[in-house]
Chain A
Amino acid sequence: MRLQLALKDALVGAVVAALLFVPLVALRTDVGSTGALTLRYRWTDAAILIGLVFIGRLALVLWMGRDGLRPSTSAGPWTLRLQRLGKLAAPAFLAVALVLPAIPGIDRYWLDLGILVLTYVMLGWGLNIVVGLAGLLDLGYVAFYAVGAYSYALLAQYFGLSFWVCLPLAGVLAAFWGILLGFPVLRLRGDYLAIVTLAFGEIIRVVLLNWVSLTGGPNGISGIPRPSFFGLPFSMAGGEGTFAGFFGLEPSSTHRVIFLYYLILALALLTNWVTIRLRRQPLGRAWEALREDEIACRALGINVTVTKLTAFALGAMFGGFAGAFFATRQAFISPESFTFIESAIILAIVVLGGLGSQIGVAIAALALIGGTEIFRDLQEWRMLVFGGAMVVIMVLRPRGLVGTRTPSIALGKRRAIDGKLVGEGHG
């Protein structure tokens, strides 16, 4: 009986897969030797994929039954175990992050990857304030990242200011733009807010692209000063007044990479620390209340506009910090680095991690950014793995990896709140 059901189910799955994979995989156009397009058939590849779907569905139904896999927002058996581990997991992650440069076998490639992941962790945590806590869907977060990056680049270029002066300035400027954007758009809700923030992200990029006299347009800005170790530059020459010379070390190019790594780690931890503290205070609670029910907030005397603006400004500020870091790390920025896909990736990190969950966002950033990097060898299949993983997570955990909410205060023991009850915000 079950076998029959499983076979039927698997067959349906295979038909759907065939409809998808025959046009997408089996038929491929290539540029021929004469420059004309030629059609190439890849029936084996498509057959393998369809076969995989058939066997996978068959095994799944036979093993777990038809309804074995259900979407869940609550703490499943493995999340419960993870949560018990969670008390250990967060410090463990932190410990690994702290000693990473000292671990033998970690070379420059891994450090660069670490920097990249941490940048996205920080951006994810920054956007988490806006999307996860305050429930405002922001599709243009990359705009603030760009504002931060260009603030540092331009201030350094035109006024010769150092990174340490520009870092707070970049944050302040990004927050300022956050408020400027916030004022007109925060009365919009849901889809409308999403569209306007999306447009804002594009406007910033288009302005950067076209204001050639200031930003260099598509050529970007190069020669952005690298950061110094509190005034001591990293230089291969060594000698007095450089980092290596001052500490009596052999000059090495990894010093700067290690320094950049710790810098972004510190910035990310700052974001995390501020968010965690604010969540337990009136402002953070008001953000979450706003996500739950805006009208009730108004009836309780909470100034909805100001509260939304603080969330927007704070999220933007951390985006600005990350942008300034990005500029000093790359030493070159151009509008190409700030396209919509960046916003989408950051948002995907927040959504996959679980709205409002700090550890979930960190894990999602690690999986999404680190994962795609590790699967680089798979080349064109990389995005398929990426997309497949995302679909699986969204099917099984519609509220992200950590779908539960931890109360900010409790008389007794803090118990996680089921994601079903927690609002997602209406913009």
Chain B
Amino acid sequence: MSRPILEVQGLTMRFGGLTAVSGVSFAARSGEITALIGPNGAGKTTLFNCVTGFYRPSEGIIRLHKPGEPPTELQRLAGHRIARAGVARTFQNIRLFPGMTALENLLIAQHNRLMASTGWGIGAVLGLSGYPRAERQAVELAKRWLTATDLMDRADDPAGALPYGQQRRLEIARAMCTEPALLCLDEPAAGLNPRESDELARLLLDIRAEGTSILLIEHDMGVVMRISDRVVVLDHGVLIADGTPAEVRRNAKVIAAYLGEDEEEVAAADDRRAMPQASAAGLNRSGSNP
């Protein structure tokens, strides 16, 4: 399981004079959950937007390795081609199609496959193409994810009328309906109550078990530490740690970033090899992004 699915090399993103992400390199391994954490303003979402094609990075390479296919350089693709390459994402502030039903939301996610079956759209209008069959398959896939996210009884309700937690799950279901190799989640647990967070964690583990790798930004350290196989920590746009949850939890730089200690104190803390408990408490303290 050590093969990488996503490889980020020397990624730099500048907005005018501001460098939001500076020379970050890491790899997310195939079949694993990789968490991207860091204090507010660390550049997590910027990095995310580069990976999912919403920003074009100033420098660096983002490579997607799909099994059995040559690697794709994502930073060269047009925005809508990233999803076709196999990267799906959700948004920090949920972006569903509120006036459309849950089922319709999931069918739109399968647009490209469905569109291919309509014969340039003309065949299906005339009733000549294999579209009905393709649509039945698409509905089956949608039903599978509605069941997996426990939304089956809300299938015909408009997405905008669902409660918050269900909207979060529907957005994940929608991303999964694009059948991605890598699922990128931007703070999926934000605003969820503890029970919903637990359900979310279980859902993500199920998704991993089905072979989709996950890259997630998360502030809920309970979720991150429990389900991640690997944690990447950013601070001020620079990568400061990369390792298993246990390693990261002990990393002095990470503790410093979260507790806001200055460098001498970090060195002192390093010397004393202190306080694994305190670090966990420190990680938990950080709130969610606004």
Chain A interface residues toward B at CB < 8 A: 274, 277-278, 281-283, 285-286, 288-289, 292-293, 295-304, 310, 405, 407-415, 417-418, 421-423
Contacts and interface: CB of A to CB of B under 8 A. Distances in A.
Task: Choose among A296, A301, A413, A423 the residue with the greatest number of B CB atoms under 10 Å from its CB.
Answer: A301
Contacts of A293: 95-98
Contacts of B125: 274, 277-278, 281
B83 A410 contact: no
Given A298-B79, A302-B108, A292 B156 contact: no
Interface centre among B107, B125, B161 (most CB of A within 10 A): B125
B121 A283 contact: yes
Given A407-B103, A415-B156, A423-B99, 6 more contacts: A281-B124, A283-B121, A302-B80, A409-B103, A409-B135, A411-B156
Contacts of B121: 278, 281-283, 310
Interface residues of B, number: 44
B237 to A, nearest CB: 23
Contact of B115 (A283, A296, A412, A422): A283
A301 B111 contact: yes
Interface in B48-96: 52-54, 79-84, 88-89, 91, 95-96
B114 interface: yes
B84 to A, nearest CB: 5
Contacts of B100: 285, 288-289, 292, 405, 407, 417
B215 to A, nearest CB: 14
Nearest to A314: B121
B108 to A, nearest CB: 5
A283 B104 contact: no
Contacts of B79: 298
Contact of B178 (A300, A407, A423): A300
- Name, among B91, B155, B156, the residue most crowded by chain A CB atoms within 10 Å (CB to CB): B156
B111 A417 contact: no
Contacts of B52: 299
21 contacts: A274-B125, A277-B125, A278-B125, A281-B124, A281-B131, A282-B107, A282-B114, A285-B111, A286-B111, A286-B115, A292-B98, A293-B97, A298-B83, A300-B83, A301-B81, A301-B84, A302-B112, A304-B80, A407-B103, A417-B99, A422-B98
Nearest to A412: B156
A288 B158 CA distance: 13
Contact of B156 (A278, A283, A302, A410): A410
A304 B81 CA distance: 11
Given A278-B121, A292-B98, A407 B83 contact: no
A176 to B, nearest CB: 17
A215 B53 CA distance: 48
A12 B287 CA distance: 52
Contacts of A278: 121, 125
Interface of B: 52-54, 79-84, 88-89, 91, 95-101, 103-104, 107-109, 111-112, 114-115, 118, 121, 124-125, 131, 135, 139, 143, 155-156, 158, 160-161, 174-175, 178
A421 B96 CA distance: 11
A422 B159 CA distance: 10
B72 to A, nearest CB: 14
B104 A301 contact: no
Contacts of A299: 52, 54, 83, 88-89, 91, 95, 175
A304 B79 CA distance: 10
Contacts of B178: 300-301
Contacts of B84: 301
A409 B107 contact: yes
Contacts of B108: 282, 285-286, 289, 297, 300, 302
Nearest to B125: A277
Nearest to A411: B155
Contacts of B135: 409
Contacts of A303: 80
Contacts of B158: 407, 417-418, 421
A408 B99 contact: no
A300 B109 contact: yes
A421 B160 contact: yes
Nearest to A296: B95
A413 B118 contact: no
A415 B156 CA distance: 8
A302 to B, nearest CB: 5
Which interface residue of A310, A405, A421 has the most chain B CB atoms within 10 A? A421
Nearest to A410: B156
Contact of A301 (B83, B99, B160): B83
A215 B213 CA distance: 63
A296 B111 contact: no
